[in-house]
Copies of this chain bind each other. A is one copy, B any other.
Amino acid sequence: MTSSPAPQLHPDVQPFVFMLGTWRGRGEGSYPTIDDFTYMEEVSFSHVGKPFLAYTQKTRHGETGLSLHAESGYWRFPAIELVIAQPTGIMEALSGDFRPNDSGGRFEFTCPDVVVTDTAVRVDRTIRRFTFEGDTLTYDMAMAAVGEPMTHHLSATLDRVVP
């Protein structure tokens, strides 16, 4: 099934074609309840001709190279919605808005009700911001979790390495 010819981009995704590809870079994380850390990250956006982009993300520890986090999901257009599943048992359904810039644009998403499985760590709310400018992607993420109020958690800068 993976050998089929590439489908045409869906018209609803056309305004967001600047997202497509694989991005790599570095980030740093902090939270009141844990030690600060750095990480290497790979993010990918791909399409199948339908009005969404498939999203995958993987991080490794900045020093040891060991797998840290992963997540996967879908960016829905034109609604500007984002659904993300995480192996930590955390799921976010986010609504957002988009402001274009000269070579991309900025998304800001909020998730007012994070869903977690029975055995997962408690996360209540998240905010995620993504800025695309040419071949650079920066993002930051804040969360209200484990009893803490909304607090900055992650920020990273990535470069597009595969179109």
Contacts and interface: CB of A to CB of B under 8 A. Distances in A.
A67 B81 CA distance: 20
A119 B67 contact: no
A85 interface: yes
A11 to B, nearest CB: 16
B119 A76 contact: yes
A141 interface: no
B89 A58 contact: no
Interface string A117-147: 1111000000000000000000000000000
Contacts of A24: 1
Interface of A: 1-2, 4, 7, 24, 40, 42, 48-50, 52, 54, 56, 58, 60, 65-67, 70, 72-74, 76, 79, 81, 83-87, 89-91, 93, 95, 113, 115-120
6 contacts: A1-B24, A56-B72, A76-B119, A83-B85, A83-B117, A95-B117
